Amino acid sequence: MNKVHLFTSAACNYIPKVRLLFQSVKKFHPDWEIHLALPDQISDAVDTQHEPFDHIWSIERLDIPYWRPWAFCHEIVELATAIKPFALLKIMETFDVEKIIYLDPDIVVFSPLDDILEALEECSMLLTPHLTEPEEHIEAVMDNEICSLRHGIYNLGFLGIKVDPESRRFARWWAKRLYHFCRAEPRHGLFTDQRWIDLVPAFFSGVGIVRSPRHNVASWNLTHRKITGNFESGFFVNGEPLGFYHFTGFDSGAHNVMALKNIGINESVQKLLTWYKKTTEELGRDPLAQIPWAFGTFSDGTPILKAQRIVYRERPDLQKAFPDPFDATGYLAWWQTQGVREYPRLASGSVENFTLEETFPYLSPGFLAGKRVDSFQGLKLIKDSLRHPETIPYLMKRGWYILKNEGLAGLTKRLG
């Protein structure tokens, strides 16, 4: 049995690009076992026998409580990141494994990762910061350092794990947090799975930090990482062999813009970006790349709006009333009749993020997995406020806001 396992998380339509990651890993580490965690359901078009992974874990196999309504609460990127700790736990529990590596599906490995394995001999968890050197110019501080503060100090395109009691404790904690709070909501201090990891060095022992410039090279850290070389002689970062390059934001064009902004014209970087563009364009012609996400529509084929996901996530009464929100005869029918009345500004498909933020400005526990809100929580708050009259104006204002936006049902829900 192989002692090192690697996994990534991606939907069926991303499998062609996943091949590129897995083939690059197998080139240098042919003995590693490779897993695909699928925030999706396996399409009949996927021939698992001829894909470059050893195991595939669709979402229903990851032991996630109430996984189907829980999945409804997430857009595709949120769901792809939310299942990561559950896949990590599954690999830990299923295999006799010593080390587990996670890499994002838009990463390519360019040289052996033996130094990662060596570092895991001395620690339970291994993280890569977005930045390992302070920026020198104010614009780079704004683009890179402040962006890291907003989205997370550590980049979760990589995670290294040595399987031991502390890493198991970490994985269980991470799964509990992402079950309720895997959201792209920086205004609430949340950015999918990533911001939670800022707490890891404080909560857990044996946390190592990879500061080598050769790993997790990306557009945001190119200001201090000089890329040289080519495909014939190999690529180097500050004189070290390039370990893995993170092509995040490539499809949107953001990667190229930030790379150009951070380093200007660099012939070696341009070779990498041109190669990745050409390769992924070819992979994109694979029929698998056209497979629709299984959780993108209701049962009748109606596309699910972001607002519909968030309203369901924020309303335990709807979660109870519609245990399968994908059923078009249930939650969608409610939305088309009652929902459009309660949330008229959210009823169209062109809702802007600020409208959602205005409607739901406060952090909530999200999907409650069939649990009730604490009984009499709202009544207790009212009772406590009578002892502190200065809080009454705020509670009245908040109560009116809930009544106006969510109706009597929303207000009753919070009273317990």
| Residue at 22 is within a domain | yes
Give me the percent of the chain exceeding a pLDDT of 70.
Answer: 91
Residues 314 and 198 in one domain: no
Final residue before a domain boundary, out of 188, 213, 238: 213
pLDDT exceeds cutoff 60 at 282: yes
| Residue at 36 is within a domain | yes
| Residue at 223 is within a domain | no
Question: Alpha helix (H) ranges present in 73-183?
Answer: 76-82, 84-94, 114-119, 138-140, 146-151, 165-181
Q: Which residues form the domain of 395?
A: 306-415
Residues 185 and 76 in one domain: yes
Q: Which residue has the higher pLDDT, 404 or 42?
A: 42
The mean pLDDT of the chain is: 90
Strand partners, 246: 107
Residue 234 Ramachandran class (φ > 0 left, ψ -120 to 50 alpha, else beta): left
Final residue before a domain boundary, out of 196, 213, 230: 213
Residues 195 and 47 in one domain: yes
Of the candidate ranges 86-95, 139-148, 160-169, 289-298, the one whose mean pLDDT is the lowest: 139-148
- On the 0-12 / 13-18 / 19+ scale of CB atoms within 10 A, 270 is middle
Of the candidate ranges 85-89, 323-327, 355-359, the one whose mean pLDDT is the lowest: 355-359
Read off the pLDDT of each residue in 141-157 and give the average, rounded to a whole number. Answer: 94
Single-letter amino acid, residue 95: F
Q: Do the beta carbons of residue 283 and residue 251 sit within 8 Å?
A: no
Residues 80 and 192 in one domain: yes
pLDDT score of 250: 83
| Residue at 66 is within a domain | yes
pLDDT exceeds cutoff 70 at 153: yes
| Residue at 18 is within a domain | yes
Read off the pLDDT of each residue in 140-148 and give the average, rounded to a whole number. Answer: 92
- Model confidence over 54-112: pLDDT tens digits? 999 999 999 999 999 999 999 999 999 999 999 999 999 999 999 999 999 999 999 99
Neighbours of 396 (CB within 10 A): 11
Residues 28 and 174 in one domain: yes
Number of folded domains in the chain? 2
pLDDT score of 130: 96
| Residue at 202 is within a domain | yes
Residue 152 belongs to a domain with what CATH number?
3.90.550.10
| Residue at 239 is within a domain | no
DSSP 8-state code for residue 328: I
Final residue before a domain boundary, out of 213, 247, 267: 213
pLDDT score of 87: 98
